[in-house]
Amino acid sequence: MLAGELYLASDPQLVSERKNARRLTRLYNATTEDETEQRRTLLSELFGSTGRQIEVEPPFRCDYGYNIHAGNGFYANFNCVLLDVCEVRIGENVLFGPNVQVYTATHPLVASERIKGPELGKPITIGNNVWIGGGAIIGPGVTIGDNTTIGAGSVVTKDIPAGVFAAGNPCRVIREL
């Protein structure tokens, strides 16, 4: 799975790991705004690694959690979804608007292969000092360079270089910053 090869999501180990992530996200999403230490503890247990200061507004959803690596200063607004069948690497000082969705998960494009059931994924890397506007979707295998802004509602299907403003569906560079 982590190598981007076909895998069966019904594998008992993967099912167990997703159940654990569901349990941790349920506990996290039930916390209040005053329970900052409890939130920090739960994110530290759920994520593969975190910077010393991150904030994720509930509700939050992910597949496994342990494939998420968030740098210091990461902030995700409400309704963030990280489908982390492969690694999601988020740099430092990264901001997500509400409803940002990050999908490493994908499926075979050929129907005869897809209906057999195996899935696959491609890692996503988001650089330092990136702002992703509300409602943006980041697709499998995408890298977003440092100091870049992604406009609200964008659908990012290809790599975006450093130091640009990019937006649209499909997302494309609008101008350098």
Domain boundaries, the chain: 12-176
Buried/exposed 4-21: b ≥16 CB within 10 Å, e otherwise:
beebeeeeeebeebbeeb
The whole-number pLDDT of residue 25 equals 98
State whether residue 12 is helix, strand or coil.
helix
CATH fold of 12-176: UDP N-Acetylglucosamine Acyltransferase; domain 1 (2.160.10)
pTM over 0.85, yes/no: yes
Rounded CA-CA distance 169/164 in Å is 16
Instruction: Point out the catalytic residue in the list 107, 125, 146, 161.
Output: 107
107 noted as active-site residue: yes
The whole-number pLDDT of residue 15 equals 97
Residue type (1 letter), 25: T
The whole-number pLDDT of residue 86 equals 97
How confident is the chain (177 residues) per 10-residue block, as mean pLDDT? 93 97 98 97 98 97 98 98 98 98 96 94 98 98 98 98 98 98
The whole-number pLDDT of residue 131 equals 98
For the chain, the straight-line distance linking the first and the last C-alpha, in angstroms and rounded, comes to 36
Specify whether the CB–CB gap between 56 and 80 falls below 8 A.
yes
Going from the C-alpha of 11 to that of each of 95, 117, 163, the distances in angstroms are 34, 11, 41
Specify whether the CB–CB gap between 136 and 152 falls below 8 A.
yes
Rounded CA-CA distance 69/78 in Å is 19
Q: Residues 6 or more apart from 141 whose CB is under 8 A from it?
A: 104, 122, 123, 124
The whole-number pLDDT of residue 119 equals 96
Specify the DSSP class assigned to residue 77.
Answer: -
